[in-house]
Structure 1
Amino acid sequence: MPKIWLAMSAYNEAENIVPLLESAGEVFRAMDACVEILLVDDGSSDGTAAAARSARLRCPLAIVDHGANRGLRQGILTALREAAERAETDDDLVIFMDSDNTHSPEAIPEMVRRAAEGADIVIASRYLPESRQIGVPWRRLWLSHAARLLFQWRLGLPGVRDYTIGYRAYRAGLLRSALSRHGDSLMEREGFACTNELLLKLAAMGARIDEAPFTLRYDRKRGQSKMRLAKTIFETLKTLWRKR
């Protein structure tokens, strides 16, 4: 089994980060996997980093401090770059997930299995028959479903149903190649739209993509959503039409 690098970016997630890290740790113990966790603290003011350090873990935890809030795009970019640079082989897996405890770590074993079968990217998909979404506000359901239909209509990437979820496993070598080619322009869209932009650029490099089912647990999230709905829609549409 390749080494796993669990990467996250967090902004004021002190209430969510500990249960997420500890549940992920339980999954990794059951897998008997070699894992390191990398957390980008994106200028949190609520003690997110201290909370993360208090989590009961048996695997190493590294925290990268942005010092000030630089936004979701830069948080994800830093997390992916740091994990890819620290990876020991190109076949190591970098798994990025949200830090608000909505992404169930129980999906990770299946994501790793599908990567072992040859996928360069494995998406934790909300749109497979076994997938579920619990406690998600109707506006978010509408936005993600509309985005899925638009992306399938305009692009139709083979094997992809979920274009906008950030929960994905990437082969480290793919990320290294993409960062070498694009640098910071690997993701240029601000906010949540940067995740579909990243997927499209990696697909253009010939990445093999698969999906694994998972349960989105919005009912576990504490605190308010940081998604700006209107901006997310606008940035997503810009990405979609430019990539045609």
Structure 2
Amino acid sequence: MKEIGSLSIILPAKNEANSLERLLPVLRQGYPDAEILVVNDGSSDHTVEVAQVAGAKVITHAYSMGNGAAVKHGARAATGEVIVFMDADGQHDPADIARLLKRLAEGFDMVVGARDSASQASLSRRLGNGFYNRLASWVTGHRIEDLTSGFRAVRAKRFREFLYLLPNGFSYPTTSTMAFFRAGYLVSYIPIRAHKREGKSHIKLAKDGLRFFLIILKVATLYSPLKVFTPISFIFFILGVSNYLYTYMIAGQFTNMSALLLITSLLVFLMGLISEQIANLLYANTARQ
């Protein structure tokens, strides 16, 4: 079992003063030597004052930039060799940090707290997360148990390699998880029970659900472009061949539509091939950093 080194705990927070009043003393008591950073993302309540009274380091955004931006800012400022990210709204149990760190010490680069079904806020959220998990598992070739969980422990050096990929919104867990798998880093999951959040969620289901889907597709094209482009190319190829067979049997002709579909199939496949080469170069450059 490896030593994990010094620890930083990062809590992105927007108007979470009430929950931080209870959470920060527990974290300080459990991890007196850890660096605790609260990234205040343009809060209008007493988040800053509560964090300062509790002895946490505070990084403040003059205006709200998004959860992902807060995570990136915190990761750049953290001095620990290991970073634990957790929500400031009371959903995550500080007692689970020890379990994350224990698994990380077994040689993993990232350990994610995977929420059980009872922790999902609603049926639609549960179904949506299940769909994202399956899609991401197909793209990466690894079983992903909770793609969107924000409760995770990572080796800081590894995580900082991918800061430029992370969006400013709520999708940093999605991007970081898939980037770690693409780079060949070891990722593990431990089951957790997330509590009901305090206050109002900042996530809008329809808007952010579509954004999550687009981000998965975006990261998928960075991760393994041919897995995205090849099925699309195959669909156009089948449509082109089917159209040709139909028109040949009906009129004995090879139509412009058949040609268009087959050419589109070829172009989509070539786009995937080029994207695959670009992705390989991207991650090769990252590995040399």
**TM-score, L = length of structure 2:** 0.69
CA 1:203–1:216 in structure 2 vs 1: closer, same or farther (change >3 Å)? same
Mapping 1:87-126, distance limit 5 Å? 87=80, 92-126=81-115
1:115 maps to a residue whose letter is: L
Asked if structure 1 preserves the Cα contact closer than 8 Å seen for 2:75 and 2:160, the reply is no
2:170 maps to a residue whose letter is: F
Report the counterpart of residue 182 of structure 1 in structure 2: none
Asked if structure 1 preserves the Cα contact closer than 8 Å seen for 2:136 and 2:178, the reply is no
Report the counterpart of residue 70 of structure 2 in structure 1: 75
Asked if structure 1 preserves the Cα contact closer than 8 Å seen for 2:180 and 2:187, the reply is no
Asked if structure 2 preserves the Cα contact closer than 8 Å seen for 1:95 and 1:168, the reply is yes
CA 1:194–1:175 in structure 2 vs 1: closer, same or farther (change >3 Å)? closer
SS in 2 for 1:191: coil
2:194 maps to a residue whose letter is: L
SS in 2 for 1:217: coil
2:36 matches 1:37: yes
Higher normalized strand content (fraction of residues): 1
Mapping 1:216-235, distance limit 5 Å? 216-218=194-196, 221-235=197-211
* Distance across 2 between alignment mates of 1:155 and 1:203: 7
**CA-CA distance at 1:202 after TM superposition:** 2.5
CA 1:135–1:166 in structure 2 vs 1: closer, same or farther (change >3 Å)? closer
Report the counterpart of residue 190 of structure 2 in structure 1: 212
CA 1:133–1:6 in structure 2 vs 1: closer, same or farther (change >3 Å)? farther
* TM-superposition CA deviations, 1:100-137 (whole Å, max 9, x none): 1101111111111111110000001114xxxx734733
Aligned equivalent of 1:10, options 10, 13, 29: 13
Aligned equivalent of 2:129, options 138, 144, 147: 144
Report the counterpart of residue 153 of structure 2 in structure 1: 169
SS in 1 for 2:181: helix
* Distance across 2 between alignment mates of 1:193 and 1:107: 22
Stretches of structure 2 that go unaligned for 5 or more consecutive residues are 225-289
* Distance across 2 between alignment mates of 1:212 and 1:112: 11
**CA-CA distance at 1:229 after TM superposition:** 0.9
* Distance across 2 between alignment mates of 1:237 and 1:192: 12
2:161 matches 1:198: no
* Distance across 1 between alignment mates of 2:127 and 2:146: 13
CA 1:135–1:74 in structure 2 vs 1: closer, same or farther (change >3 Å)? closer
**CA-CA distance at 1:27 after TM superposition:** 3.2
* Distance across 2 between alignment mates of 1:106 and 1:192: 24
Asked if structure 1 preserves the Cα contact closer than 8 Å seen for 2:100 and 2:153, the reply is yes
**TM-score, L = length of structure 1:** 0.81
1:71 maps to a residue whose letter is: G
Report the counterpart of residue 140 of structure 2 in structure 1: 155
Asked if structure 2 preserves the Cα contact closer than 8 Å seen for 1:154 and 1:240, the reply is no
Identity of aligned residues (%): 27
Stretches of structure 1 that go unaligned for 5 or more consecutive residues are 180-184
Higher normalized helix content (fraction of residues): 2
* Distance across 1 between alignment mates of 2:153 and 2:190: 10
* Distance across 1 between alignment mates of 2:76 and 2:203: 23
* Distance across 1 between alignment mates of 2:133 and 2:96: 20
Report the counterpart of residue 178 of structure 1 in structure 2: 162
Extract structure 1 runs of 4+ deviating beyond 4 A.
none
**CA-CA distance at 1:15 after TM superposition:** 1.3
Larger radius of gyration: 2
* Distance across 1 between alignment mates of 2:31 and 2:193: 18
* TM-superposition CA deviations, 1:70-105 (whole Å, max 9, x none): 11221111112211xx23xxxx21000111110111
SS in 1 for 2:154: strand
* Distance across 1 between alignment mates of 2:119 and 2:146: 17
